[in-house]
């Protein structure tokens, strides 16, 4: 039987851990015979020494098997999910899940909450009056069978070792390690019972991986791990150097998602949602080419079937489906404040991170895991990269309840903009690269 002290020393000295050693260490969390300080030391050793492919797969597998691995085999159809590494204004899950489902994919999604400057799908969904994200795994399967899609929060049965390790990583400054991030994300996603996974790995100032080469390494590692565990994988590497779409917050992002499902959303958001949904259709084997898959997804918006799916999903999860016809039923702020430009020009940059932080200061996000959020507040950006601005034009509308941080939020948003006198082209696409594993 391995001893924790020997496993830590081996990794500290740059050795590769065996599958048995990794399984024993992960098993020690539930058995209670590996102390927190020993895991903390191992995490730091992994942070500095890294892990090779076999070690990362073994860690992911052991973390996944620390809890329930959902069996969805009794539900017909290919089950494909999407995971985003997170960003500002990133509400693609709310748009692509109904699109992919309407195109025939079974979409079982276990999503997360916002933390820091990034938003979370669960917080957005909970701004729909009555919407329940805490459902049992039995109900998760029922909703999937009935509506072809389901969006819930992580249950305590899914990858409990990740919950323990994530908290330790947070407390020991070992979060930013590619094998640890890959194992953490993939262990939860693979426990959902999926056949394939589309990854949206973001890069830019508002992303977890700011540098393109880190985003690429993370995408390659996650594709590799998923493929080694028998799943079809696609990763899109996408820009998060300005917020996605125009809305940042919770209810306001649901309203923008509904607009997209009606074919009336901003082009960057609509395009990325369709690109990701098309990858899901392709992974599900429902189209021969990505162009065909994209066409099928576009038709679900044109014929209203994606919007209908969203309506069914809301009703199945206890929410008020009338918000689809009347987004005015979503929570509304007490005040709307316009932020005027103090100079003119063309928007050359709009950094995402300060927009995310300003929105959090208004109450839309949480600084700590246990903080509460205000669903009604947020920001609607009227000017993005490439837009012309005259002095006095509104750069954005701030949706405000508590005004205590309003001034700071306004300063941050103003500072996030950079103007130039000449013309600046808006980026034509947010997709930088595409990686594929396991698709013949």
> Strand ranges (DSSP E) for 104-172?
107-111, 149-153
**Which of these is catalytic: 10, 82, 83, 231?**
83
Segment contacting ligand URA by CB under 6 A, of 1-9, 178-186, 253-261, 311-319: 178-186
Q: State which residue has the least CB distance to ligand URA.
A: 184
Residue with tokens 């590497």: 237
Active site residue 187: no
The CA distance from 281 to 288, in Å, is 9
Q: Exposure string (b/e) for 1-38, b if CB count within 10 Å is 16 or more? A: ebebeebbebbeeeeebeeebbbbbbebbeeeebeeeb
The CA distance from 123 to 364, in Å, is 9
Binding mask 263-302 for ligand URA (x = CB under 6 A): ----------------------------------------
Q: How far is the CB of 67 from ligand URA (least distance, A)?
A: 14
φ, ψ (nearest 5 deg) of residue 80: -135, 135
**Which of these is catalytic: 81, 162, 195, 241?**
162
Residue with tokens 């700011």: 210
In sign, the C-alpha dihedral spanning 5, 6, 8, 12 is positive
The CA distance from 153 to 136, in Å, is 10
Whose Cβ is closer to ligand URA: residue 30's or residue 167's? 167
Active site residue 83: yes
Active site residue 141: no
* Longest distance between any two alpha carbons in the chain, whole Å: 71
Q: How far is the CB of 395 from ligand URA (least distance, A)?
A: 31
Q: How far is the CB of 208 from ligand URA (least distance, A)?
A: 6
Active site residue 188: yes
The CA distance from 391 to 343, in Å, is 5
**Which of these is catalytic: 91, 117, 188, 189?**
188
Whose Cβ is closer to ligand URA: residue 147's or residue 174's? 174
> Per CB under 6 A, does 181 bind ligand URA?
yes
Cα torsion through 331, 332, 333, 335, rounded to 10: -170
Question: Which DSSP string corresponds to 56-112?
Answer: HHHHHHHHHTTS-----TTS-S-BEEEEE---SS--HHHHHHHHHHHTT-BEEEEE-
Residue numbers 182-221 binding ligand URA by CB under 6 A: 184-185
Q: How many residues bind ligand URA, per CB under 6 A?
A: 4
Residue numbers 358-377 binding ligand URA by CB under 6 A: none
Q: How far is the CB of 83 from ligand URA (least distance, A)?
A: 9
Whose Cβ is closer to ligand URA: residue 201's or residue 324's? 201
Q: How far is the CB of 181 from ligand URA (least distance, A)?
A: 4
Binding mask 119-158 for ligand URA (x = CB under 6 A): ----------------------------------------
Strand partners, 399: 336, 378
The CA distance from 148 to 135, in Å, is 16
DSSP assigned state of 435? E
The CA distance from 84 to 82, in Å, is 7
Q: How far is the CB of 304 from ligand URA (least distance, A)?
A: 34
Q: How far is the CB of 247 from ligand URA (least distance, A)?
A: 23
Segment contacting ligand URA by CB under 6 A, of 24-32, 121-129, 181-189, 237-245: 181-189
What six digits make up the tokens of 320? Answer: 């008020």
Rg (CA), the chain: 22
**Which of these is catalytic: 10, 79, 141, 169?**
169
Distance linking the first and last C-alpha atoms of the chain: 41
The CA distance from 65 to 38, in Å, is 21
Whose Cβ is closer to ligand URA: residue 177's or residue 359's? 177
Q: How far is the CB of 120 from ligand URA (least distance, A)?
A: 11
Residue with tokens 């276990």: 110
Active site residue 404: no
φ, ψ (nearest 5 deg) of residue 233: -130, 140
Catalytic residues: 83, 162, 169, 184, 188
Q: Which parts of this chain interact with ligand URA (CB under 6 A)?
A: 166, 181, 184-185
């Amino acid at each position: 039987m391995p001893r924790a002290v020997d496993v830590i020393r081996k990794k500290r000295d740059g050795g590769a851990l065996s599958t048995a050693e990794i399984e024993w260490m992960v098993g020690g969390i539930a058995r209670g015979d590996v102390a927190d300080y020993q895991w903390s030391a191992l995490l730091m050793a992994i942070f500095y020494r890294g892990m090779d492919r076999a070690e990362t797969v073994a860690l992911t597998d052991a973390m996944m098997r620390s809890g329930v691995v959902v069996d969805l085999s009794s539900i017909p159809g290919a089950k494909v999910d999407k995971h985003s590494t997170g960003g500002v204004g990133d509400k693609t899950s709310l748009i692509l899940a109904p699109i992919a489902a309407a195109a025939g994919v079974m979409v079982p999604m276990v999503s997360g909450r916002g933390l820091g400057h990034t938003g979370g799908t669960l917080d957005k969904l909970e701004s729909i009056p009555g919407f329940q994200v805490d459902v049992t795994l039995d109900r998760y399967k029922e909703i999937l069978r009935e509506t072809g899609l389901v969006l819930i929060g992580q249950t305590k049965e899914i990858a409990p070792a990740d919950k323990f390790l994530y908290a330790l990583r947070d407390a020991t400054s070992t979060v930013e390690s590619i094998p640890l991030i890959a194992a953490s994300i993939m262990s939860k996603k693979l426990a959902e019972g999926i056949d394939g996974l589309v990854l949206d790995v973001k890069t830019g100032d508002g992303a977890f991986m700011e540098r393109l080469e880190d985003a690429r390494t993370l995408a390659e590692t996650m594709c590799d791990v998923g493929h080694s565990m028998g799943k079809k994988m696609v990763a899109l590497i996408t820009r998060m150097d300005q917020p996605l779409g125009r809305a940042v917050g919770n209810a306001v992002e649901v309203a923008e998602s509904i607009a997209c499902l009606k074919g009336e959303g901003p082009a960057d958001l609509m395009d990325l949602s369709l690109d990701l949904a098309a990858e899901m259709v392709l992974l599900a084997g429902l189209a021969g080419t990505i162009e065909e898959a994209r066409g099928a997804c576009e038709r679900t918006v044109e014929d209203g079937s994606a919007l209908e799916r969203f309506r069914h999903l809301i009703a199945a999860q206890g929410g008020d489906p009338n918000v689809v016809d009347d987004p005015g039923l979503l929570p509304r702020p007490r005040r709307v404040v316009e932020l005027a430009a103090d100079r003119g020009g063309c928007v050359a940059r709009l950094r995402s991170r300060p927009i995310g932080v300003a929105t959090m200061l208004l109450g839309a996000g949480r600084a700590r895991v246990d903080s509460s959020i205000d669903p009604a507040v947020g920001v609607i950006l009227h000017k993005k990269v490439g837009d012309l601005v005259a002095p006095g034009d509104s750069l954005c509308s701030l949706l405000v309840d508590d005004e205590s941080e309003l001034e700071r939020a306004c300063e941050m948003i103003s500072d996030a903009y950079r103007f130039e006198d000449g013309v600046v082209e808006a980026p034509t696409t947010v997709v930088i690269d595409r990686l594929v594993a396991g698709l013949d």
